[in-house]
Amino acid sequence: MKKVLKKGKRSNRKERLVAYEEFLNREPGASRIELIQMLIPLGLAAVEAELQSEVIQIAGGRYSRDLPQFKRWGHNGGSVYLGDQKVSIEVPRVRDVLKDKEVCLTSYREFQNPRKIDETIFSRVINGISSRKYEKAVQDVPATFGIKKSSVSRKFIRASARKLKECLERDLSGHDILAIFIDGKSFADNQIIIALGITLEGEKIVLGFIESSTENHRVCQDFLNGLMDRGLNTENEILFIIDGAKGLHKGIKRVLSEKAVIQRCQWHKRENVLKYLDKSHQSHFRRKLQAAYEQPTYEAAKKRLGQIKKELVFINQSAVNSLQEGLEETLTLHRLGLFKQLGESFKTTNCIESIMRQVGIYTDRIGYWKNSDQRQRWVGTALQEIEPNLRKVKGYRHLGELREAMKKLNSKNNVSHAA
C-alpha cells in the first residue's frame, strides 16, 4: 500500500509540475503506442484538476480559513479509469472535523467506473493529430475520457501539442533500420506510397508516406531523401523489398547506390510470368515456379528456374522475357545464404501488403475524396491505429546475420566491378 503523504508535505502544484516535467522529458516515439502514452498524462492532468476543483468547493482554497469545518488531509494512493484503462493516481483527502470522518469526493467515485471512450471524439483527436492540428487535438483529449475540456490549461495544451508534433514528425536517427518495404496504395488517380522499416531487433516502424500520381523514380527519390533528412541512417546496407516497380527500383538506386540491396517480390514475379500464359498452363507453371523459389540454396533455385525458362521458350517468349527481367534480384536472399532463415518475412512484400489491407479497412469505405489533405489525414490516422499492433518479423534473431551477409555481398560486388 502506498504511504499516505503527510499534510503539507508538498503542494499539488509541485506534484503537477513534476508530472508535467516527466511528460515533457519523454523520449519522442513514432508509433501510436507513444501517442496513447502521451494522451494518458493529459487525461490524468484533467482528472487531477477535477478532483482539486471539488476539494476547493468543499474546503476552500489552500490555507483558507473560511470553512473551518473541513480540512485538507493529505493524499491517499488510488486509481481511476481513463476510458477502460485503470491508472494509478494520488487522491486528495478532505476531513469533516466536526463529524470526525472523511468526506468522499464525488468526482473520484465517478472516475472509478470504467466507461466506453466516445469513438467520435477519439476519432476527432486522431484526425486532428494526423492533420497536424495538435492544439485542437489536445483540447479534445479530456472530452475523450469524459472530462471537462476546461480542466486542461492553455499552457499545458501548447506544451503537449508541441510534444505530439515531435512524436509524429519523429527523428528516425534513433532507429537502426535494416530493411525497408516500399509499396503504393491506389486512391482513384493517386498513389499513397508507404515505407515500412524493419529494425535490427525486428520491430516494424512506419517510416512515412508520400502522395503521387505514379510510383515514378523522382517521387521515390524525394521520399527517400526526406527520410534521410529525418535521420534515416544509410551508413550500413539496407535491404529493400519491392514489387518490381521500375520507378521505385530506379529511385532507390539513385539515392542509395550500392548501399541498397534489393529483394524483388517472388510472388509478383511469379504472377507477372503467369499472366502471359493461357489458363491451361498457369497451374502447372505456378507450382513449378513456387517449387523453384522454395529451394534452400541459390544454385538449386537458379537451376530450377533455368529449367522452367527452357520449357517456356516453346510456349510463350513474352513469359520468358518476364521471367528473365530482374531474376537475380528475386534470388537476393538465396545469394545472401539466408533464404531458409528469413524467406518467410522478406521473399515477398506481404508485410506491407498486410498494412495496405488494414489501411483499406479505414479508407475503402470512402467513395469520394475531396482533396489531398483528406486522403493524407485518413491514411495517417489508419497507420497510427495499425502500427502498435504490428508484430516482429519472423526470423528476427537472424537479422544480425543479414547485415553481415549484405556487407560481404557488397564488398564482393565492389571487387568484381573494380576488376
Residues 305-319: tens digit of each pLDDT: 999 999 999 999 999
Residues in the chain: 419
Say if residues 409 and 239 touch (Cβ distance below 8 Å).
no
Quick one: pLDDT at residue 79?
79
When pLDDT is averaged across residues 173-179 and rounded to a whole number, the result is 92
Would you state the pLDDT for residue 313? Answer: 93
Better-scored residue on pLDDT, 332 or 216: 332
> Averaged over 221-235, what is the pLDDT?
91
**Residue 351 CB contacts under 8 Å (≥ 6 apart), including other chains:** 181, 196, 198, 204, 241, 345, 393
Q: What is the pLDDT of residues 129-166, one digit of tens each?
A: 555 555 555 555 555 555 555 544 454 445 444 544 54
Q: Which of 339 and 84 is assigned the larger pLDDT?
A: 339
pLDDT at position 353 is 92
Domain residue ranges in the chain: 12-168, 175-418
Q: What is the pLDDT of residues 9-41, one digit of tens each?
A: 444 445 544 444 444 344 333 334 444 445 666
Instruction: Judge whether residue 200 has pLDDT over 90.
Output: yes
pLDDT at 267 over 90: yes
> What was the pLDDT predicted at 146?
54
Cα–Cα distance for residue pair 24/156, rounded to 1 Å: 10
- Residue 401's pLDDT is 95
